[in-house]
Chains A and B, each alone.
Chain A
């Protein structure tokens, strides 16, 4: 996921990227034990939770503000988000996020982070962070379109093989 405004020098590295970046340096054994316990608990609950949460734009993040809704002004833009739980087992719950009243389509990554159609090549920890990052990326005075084709619109694309390129 990406960090936009915390001052981490994202352009500073020169190769040899450390993907398996360790946690904060000051981590204690107790923190580690706690984390392991939390993991074990999560693993024990996982099958139960999975049974009720189909793959999809899953449950809202279970921590911090904005758990199921947010409504704030950021850089002069009104950003709102509402989590709508699934109404049946066959359906996914989903976030409805708007910027100045226009829908901002969010997608979820396998690691649980979120990306928006405005900022599509990196992801953020929460829908709120993704919405704020989208506002950062929107040019001054630019508004989202009301209707934007997304993955759901795949059926309306007609390209197929009509150009006849063959490998």
Chain B
């Protein structure tokens, strides 16, 4: 039977405790850092050669769906009652709201070095040493809202703007497209200022510290964020009945995107699974 992913704001004290304990155990076992490495490895950019599976590509959504499922499976091996909660950043919008509480992910980084000092992932607790980071610091960093030049989280209307687009994605299937649900949600913008980051990207930017680096997985909020992004895919499907993952077939040999993106029935590296198989995961989990 399908298990349920809950809104982080509705978790009971026991559910939070068990989620955190499972994360710490996955970290202790060395599995967590493998997720960090994997995400770093799957971030080639669209201005460079090679297949893009995780970002700047149609498979942004199925890739991260599968990635969150992998983590969730690791957590459930530790405690079968645990599921990945989601953070609704259109509603919980301040540095003191969910999930930044001491009983869940802990709070903001301190001003001097952005080190997270509260909660279970604070370095001084001894359970969350950063091993695969881009800086030498062994501690988790955050800069919620970007202190030096404040930005806001994406709004409900910005998210709605993405959900309204019936096209899943459009050619050339990269970070430059200005139409299509996928990039409106992933959030690669053009232009300057407020048009530069949207939805998913903007949330990484808002959290700052580790979350805005290529080692963003080091902050466990990565999973709560991506569970919410994943929920948007489900909502988009419900809103546009019959709309599917695109492209349905791979770009031809003359197309510049030939061999660089994953079409609906192609394998999504590094897994033996296709976007088609990941479009409906209703028998694995559902959202509360």
Contacts and interface: CB of A to CB of B under 8 A. Distances in A.
Dominant secondary structure at the B interface: loop
B209 interface: yes
Interface string B126-163: 00000011111100010000001111100111101100
B201 interface: yes
Contact of A17 (B70, B148, B161, B175): B161
Contact of B141 (A139, A154, A159): A139
Interface stretch (A27-35, A39-47, A144-152): A144-152
Given A19-B189, A160-B271, A167-B66, A145 B134 contact: yes
Contact of A14 (B45, B48, B155): B155
Interface in B245-270: 270
Contacts of A136: 148
A56 B236 CA distance: 34
Given A19-B195, A118-B214, A165-B70, 20 more contacts: A2-B192, A10-B194, A11-B150, A15-B157, A17-B195, A18-B195, A55-B49, A111-B190, A119-B213, A120-B214, A121-B201, A121-B204, A137-B213, A139-B114, A139-B137, A144-B135, A150-B41, A153-B41, A157-B37, A167-B281
A15 B134 contact: no
B196 A10 contact: yes
Interface of B: 34-35, 37-38, 40-50, 56, 66, 69-70, 73-74, 109, 112-115, 132-137, 141, 148-152, 155-158, 160-161, 172, 174-176, 178, 187-198, 201, 204-205, 208-209, 212-216, 270-273, 277-278, 281, 284
Nearest to B161: A15
A148 B134 contact: yes
Nearest to B205: A121
A87 interface: no
Given A9-B194, A121-B212, A145 B136 contact: yes
A38 interface: no
A148 to B, nearest CB: 5
Contacts of A21: 190-192, 195
Contacts, number: 222
Contact of B152 (A11, A107, A159): A11
A3 B156 CA distance: 23
A66 interface: no
Nearest to B62: A167
A144 B136 contact: yes
A5 interface: yes
A13 B192 CA distance: 13
Given A138-B135, A167-B66, A109 B45 contact: yes
A36 interface: no
Contacts of A140: 112-113
Contact of A165 (B50, B69, B190, B270): B69
Nearest to B178: A19
Contacts of B45: 107-110, 115
